[in-house]
Amino acid sequence: MAVALRPRRAAADAFVLVVPEYNRSVPGPLSLTGGVRAVEHLRQVSAEFHAVGMKDAVLFPRVLEHYDAQGRFPAEPEGPEAAAKFMLDQLLWWALALRDAKSVRPYGV
């Protein structure tokens, strides 16, 4: 699947990774894909690929407590909504800035 996504990632100005935390890091089956410690580790891994990471992230601590009695995840959990807007606003700024910069001087040239 990661290979199939490669052309889409390469063409994108920005993207968001959504992953669980496993054993205080990134899950083994996911090569680049968070809980608090997983995000910290993912930043280190992403830097090796020259990715610009956002300082802020949207986290769901104690994720199992977010599900209701029927096993549904609320469509709009209260705390993460503001964090998501803040992070996505940062992501948009970086995406536009990097797109403009790449149009003047492509990365790696």
CB proximity list for 75: less than 8 A, separation 6 or greater: none
User: What's the Cα-to-Cα distance from 4 to each of 61, 65, 91, rounded to whole Å?
Assistant: 31, 34, 23
**SS3 label, residue 25:** strand
Sequence letter at residue 11: A
- pLDDT of amino acid 6: 79
Place of tokens 């054993």: 23
Q: Is a pLDDT exceeding 80 seen at residue 89?
A: yes
**pLDDT tens per residue, range 18-43:** 777 777 777 765 554 345 677 777 77
Does the pTM surpass 0.85? The reply is: no
Q: Provide the pLDDT for residue 32.
A: 42
- Is residue 47 classed as helix, strand or coil in its secondary structure? helix
Can you tell me the distance from the alpha carbon of 99 to that of 70, in angstroms, rounded to the nearest whole number? 43
